[in-house]
Amino acid sequence: MEPTPPHRELGSRLERIGRRIPDPVLLFVGLWVLTFVAASLLGGHTFSTPGAGGAPIEQVIRPVYQAEHVRWIVDNALVQNWLAFGNGVLGVILVVTLAIGVAEHAGLLGALIKKAGRRVPLTWMPVMLVFLGIMSSLATDAGYLILVPLAGLLYAAMKQNPLIGMAAAFAGVSAGFSANLIPATPPDVIVGMNARVFAEAQQVPFVGGDGRPLNPATMNYFFMVASTFLLAAIGGWVTKRFVMPRLANAPYTVPADLDLGEFELSEGERRGLRAALLATPVALLVLAGLALGPLAAFENDSGVRVNPFVNNIILAISLFFVMVGATFGFASGRFRGLGDVVAAATKQMNTTGYIVVLTFFSYNALALLGYSGIGAYITYLGAQALLGLGVAEYPVLLLIGFVLTTALINLFVGGLNSKWLLLGPIFVPMLYQVNPQMTPDLVAAAYRVADSSTNIITPMMSYAGIVLAFMRRYRPEMGLGDMILMMLPYSAAFLVAWTGLLLGFFLLGLPLGF
């Protein structure tokens, strides 16, 4: 019997470890229980943390087993600690998902991918696929379920190994999940809105390195735009330098039932794209009218400049996607009436069921962390430990250490949202207390770099099995270890280059967003 190849053994080992890690929902249930027990045991303990102006703030841990605190837990479980958590973070996430769902289920994204794929020379194809993968992170299902198999079809049609195109697309969708040219994407909203909650819960000022207030949805936008071009270039280079030489002459099969014509645009899709092209400037004019009209910037009675359009950029972009997506749907024939638009939005919302369940338990656990004082105490202990190590004067080391820690955790705990809810409440205030240069937007950007870079080499990523199934259409014997080995160069290159870009922004004092 032949020995198991090392890369397949690695994949099997990671998979076995991953299966032993509980679902994130259960992790948050356990966190709630641990917080309750710790607060009950440490009730009455006091300690001091630095406030926004540097003055110490006296903190006390509440004995949550007492009746008044149990009443607070029960009274606030549904509304204040869940639906209204962070001024309605859950509602914002659902609205963005609804709007993008209209464009996705209308078929707009798939048509754009087909259109671009048929016009790009083979030399530039890897860069294009990584770029499209990054842009498809507007709607993750479309990236994994549409772009990856379409990339295989495209390469098969060009008589090339389909796994080359699928690897590039997978790298773009997953490793580039936190980059985009469009502001206020779902990851922007999830990370930014919660970062504000984490900061304000422990009196950390929600401002950037220049002292200006941060907009949660766009606080990393400039960095994400630069990341999009960097990752597309790096991903294209990795494909040509490592993936193509390895797979160019490797055997593959094209299934007999595979219709390579699936990559061709239908007449309806062509009509839809023409209509969407005309609808785009109209939608932009509508948004410009709002920005210059009722949502124009003004100074309030206190002399503070207020910009309603920027403050509501999430709703503005959601409106844009609904207008353009619905236009494509009607012109292509996918939508026959307004009921179909509602059905598309409803279908997308059906995929958010897990988010609803996760946020109920996670937000209640985080609320108890804040109310009991245990969260502040953990932050205090962590900050004191880092200060004791003498790294407070080395912000670059703090950034690199946080990136590497998050990248390692990502191998075993999947999901951007769940990990951010686990790590953010601790690291956002902790790193700021250690060094005030570690502002919430910087910590959030570092988290996104680390989380995205190792997504493609962990079996814990929710779409890993689906992507592997797509790849097995062309190479039936392919295992998880084979896929991890194939994607490893992308992960390593993204982690190094992307961290370097973040350090460049930080050291040059460039704004991460607006």
Tell me how far apart the alpha carbons of residues 402 and 393 are, in angstroms, rounded to a whole number: 15
CA–CA gap between residue 140 and residue 118 (Å, rounded): 22
**What pLDDT, on the 0 to 100 scale, is given for residue 152?**
87
Amino acid (one-letter) located at 136: S
Residue-range domain boundaries for the chain: 64-508
Mean pLDDT value of segment 127-140: 83
Give the pLDDT of residue 150: 80
Question: What's the pLDDT score for residue 1?
Answer: 47
Residue 69: CB atoms within 10 A of its CB come to 19
User: CA-CA distance, 462 to 191, in Å (whole number)?
Assistant: 19
Report whether pLDDT(348) > 80: no
pLDDT at 284 over 50: yes
What is the pLDDT, as a whole number, of residue 227? 96
Q: Quickly state the pLDDT bin for 484 (edges 50, 70, 90).
A: confident
Which secondary structure element, helix H or strand E, spans residue 7, and what is its range?
helix 6-20
73 three-state secondary structure:
helix
Could you tell me the pLDDT band of residue 409, with boundaries at 50, 70 and 90?
confident
Looking at residues 85-90, what average pLDDT do you find? 72
- 130-139, 334-343, 347-356, 420-429: segment of lowest average pLDDT: 347-356
- Residue 299, classed as helix, strand or coil, is strand
> What pLDDT is stored for residue 51 in this prediction?
58
Q: In this predicted structure, what is the pLDDT of residue 89?
A: 67
Q: Which among 192, 186, 182 is positioned nearest to 220, based on CA atoms?
A: 192
Contact 319, 283 (CB under 8 A): yes
Residue 459 CA: distances (Å) to CA of 10, 140, 275, 352, 422: 11, 17, 40, 21, 20
**pLDDT for position 143:** 73
For residue 444, the Cα-to-chain-centroid distance in whole angstroms is: 11
What value does the mean pLDDT take over residues 408-427? 77
Cα–Cα distance, 194 to 425 (Å, whole number): 9
Q: What is the pLDDT of residues 19-33, one digit of tens each?
A: 566 766 887 899 899
Nearest to 129 by CA among 105, 96, 158: 158
In order, the DSSP letters of 382-435 are HHHHHHHTT-TT-HHHHHHHHHHHHHHHHTTS--HHHHHHHHHHHHHHHHHHH-
User: Over the chain, what is the mean pLDDT?
Assistant: 85
Q: Which helix (H) or strand (E) holds 193?
A: helix 186-201
Distance CA 474, CA 157 (A): 13
For residues 181-204, give the mean pLDDT. Answer: 86
DSSP 261: G
pLDDT digits (tens, 9 = 90+) for 295-322: 998 888 877 678 888 777 778 878 998 9
Whether residue 489 contacts residue 246, with contact meaning beta carbons closer than 8 Å, is answered with: no
Which pLDDT band, with edges at 50, 70 and 90, does 479 fall under?
Answer: confident
Lowest-pLDDT range, 80-89, 192-201, 433-442? 80-89
Give the mean model confidence (pLDDT) for residues 211-234.
95
Angle of helix 89-106 relative to helix 338-350, nearest 10 degrees, comes to 120
Residue pLDDT, tens place only, 488-497:
999 999 999 9
Phi and psi at residue 320, to the nearest 5°? -60, -45
Structure-token pair, residue 167: 């690897």
Closest CA to 163 of 252, 275, 43, 257: 252
DSSP string for 156-191: HHTTS-HHHHHHHHHIIIIITTT--SSSS-HHHHHH
In this predicted structure, the answer to whether residue 237 has a pLDDT above a threshold of 60 is yes
Q: Output the six-digit token pair for 209.
A: 């390195």
DSSP state of 243: I
Secondary structure element (H or E) that encloses residue 46, with its range = strand 46-50
Q: What is the CA radius of gyration of the chain?
A: 24
Sequence-ordered list of residues with C-beta below 8 angstroms from that of 418, at least 6 positions apart, any chain: 24, 27, 28, 358, 362
